[in-house]
Amino acid sequence: MSRLSTFDSLTKHLSTALGYGIAVVVFCYFVAFAYAHPSPELLFAIAFEVVVFGAILFFRWHASRRPTGKLKNLVIAQLGSQFDVLGWLFRIGRTSVAIVLSTAFFFLLIDFTALAAAIFGAHKLSRSIYVSMPTHDIFGCHPALSLEIFSGACIESGKFRTADTLTDELFLIRQQLYGNEHEMIASIYTDMGGLFRREGKLAESEASYRKALVIGKRVLGDTGYGSTLTKLAVTLKQRRKFSEANQCLQEALAMRENQFGKNHPKVAHTLYELSMLLPLMGQPDEAKAAKARADRIMDDYNRRLTKNDSTWLIFACALCSCAVSYVLFGRNGMLTATVIKHLEKKIASSGEEASQRDIDNLNALYKLKRKMTGGDDAQVRQNDHDRRQFAIRRAHSRLFNGTERRYAAERRYGRERRDMRDCRNLLERGQDGREPNDLVTVSDINSDFLPLYRC
């Protein structure tokens, strides 16, 4: 096996192994989040991933045993070996996929290691890993995003003690990365305010929200902290500071309308909070108007989501992929026919010097095509036989051209006489488990015509 063939085999198996590894790491994430908050949605997601992963494994195993999958793999391999440009393109594609999968796998594995360390109390190790990982710079996501999600799951599950510890770790990670004056610090103060409010610590919640507002105004200017204002208003409402809560909601509403537009879901969120506050202030009519406007915004938004639903596009792409695969790699597919014709032409032009590997590949293609028809299609058998005979006849015509080949055939005839007779008997009797005249061999090319040379 050549080095390129070995490299292709390694990249293919490496990509497969990395795909399975990514699936296992994602499953571990789901298990960790379900441990923090065992909601029906997460449990369903875990069961769904197990079913999908099992289905993929079964499909790959079944496809590898079916003649269709074997034929497709053989055609692709022959295209890469027959056409150098396609071979290098396939090689570059497989290498790129292996590199991408390797990067994703190691990022996920390192991130999950940091999350597991935080869950089991190794906070210094977890913090050092999260700080050294450049995911927030490369992908633009929050640093320690997995830890933030796990902390939110603990909050939803009512595990406030664990959530307090993890939130403090998130604050230290962001402080180490960004310092004290950054929008990420304002964001973590907002998260702390929500945690304190869930715990019933309304004073601490208000203080955290106000710290977030101070940093947000210095860093972001006049926009970007409407969510903090809305959440602060909820805490102030619970503390029965209605006037101040209304002022925060009005400021948040104006800010969000200016930033996102008047028909954005975030505007509707602030309007819903305002509709729950205004009745407490003796303004039921204004509350109904705010709620009606929020309902209109959300109805319009849901209609746009339904209109732009691209689920059908996924199924359409899957069907198109199957159709294209059949047209190109099917029993009578374009690429399948191209490969067979190329091999027949190559064997016929090479004559007795034809490569045994090419002959074996051509035989394998014939066999797979017969298996795909159930083995009883007489027309396919006849077509395969005609093609083999055509290749043999072309090879024979080349054998008769030139005195050197004729002289070489006469010299070898006596030496190979017994071997050719035995081979012909095996093919006629089917003692090797194959049908008579089923294979294209060098003996098929020589044995029927070499006696003519001696005459």
**Residue 347 pLDDT class (50, 70, 90 cuts):** confident
Residues 207/190, Cβ–Cβ less than 8 Å: no
Q: Give residues with Cβ within 8 angstroms of 198, minimum separation 6.
A: 155, 160
Distance CA 206, CA 192 (A): 10
Chain segment 108-132, per-residue pLDDT in tens: 999 999 999 999 989 999 999 999 8
Chain segment 198-229, per-residue pLDDT in tens: 999 999 999 999 999 999 888 887 777 889 99
At residue 453, the pLDDT reads 33
For the chain, percent of residues with pLDDT exceeding 70: 75
Is 451 exposed, middle or buried, given 0-12, 13-18 or 19+ CB atoms closer than 10 A? exposed
- Write down the H helix ranges in 179-310: 183-199, 202-220, 226-238, 242-260, 265-277, 284-307
Sign, CA torsion 101/102/105/110: negative
| Of 79, 104, 101, 75, residue with least CA distance to 91 | 79
Residues 339/78, Cβ–Cβ less than 8 Å: yes
Residues 449/396, Cβ–Cβ less than 8 Å: yes
Distance CA 159, CA 130 (A): 23
Q: Kindly calculate the radius of gyration of the chain based on its CA atoms and give it in whole angstroms.
A: 36
Amino acid at site 447: S
Of the ranges 76-90, 221-235, 353-367, the best mean pLDDT one: 221-235
Residue 161: Cβ within 10 Å count: 10
Sheet strands (E) in 354-426: none
At residue 64, the pLDDT reads 63
Is 303 exposed, middle or buried, given 0-12, 13-18 or 19+ CB atoms closer than 10 A? exposed
At residue 429, the pLDDT reads 54
Distance CA 102, CA 104 (A): 6
More confident residue, 163 or 421: 163
**Lowest-pLDDT choice from 263-272, 317-326, 359-368:** 359-368
Residue 247 has pLDDT above 80, yes or no: yes
**Lowest-pLDDT choice from 33-37, 63-67, 216-220, 403-407:** 403-407
The DSSP code sequence of 62-89 is HHHHSHHHHHHHHHHHHHHHH-HHHHHH
Residue 341 has pLDDT above 90, yes or no: no
| Mean pLDDT score, 129-153 | 83
More confident residue, 1 or 224: 224
Distance CA 28, CA 31 (A): 5
Chain segment 371-421, per-residue pLDDT in tens: 665 544 455 455 555 555 555 555 555 555 544 455 555 555 555 555 556
| Of 250, 260, 205, 258, residue with least CA distance to 229 | 250
| Mean pLDDT score, 303-330 | 76
Distance CA 138, CA 134 (A): 6
At residue 44, the pLDDT reads 82
**Residue 188 pLDDT class (50, 70, 90 cuts):** very high
3-state secondary structure of 122: coil
Distance CA 168, CA 57 (A): 42
Distance CA 150, CA 210 (A): 25
Kindly report each contact of residues 410-415 with a partner whose C-beta sits within 8 Å and lies 24 or more positions away, as own/partner. Answer: 410/453, 410/454, 412/450, 413/450, 413/451, 413/453, 413/454
Domain boundaries 3-237, corresponding CATH code: 1.25.40.10
pTM of full prediction above 0.75: no
At residue 397, the pLDDT reads 56
At residue 338, the pLDDT reads 80
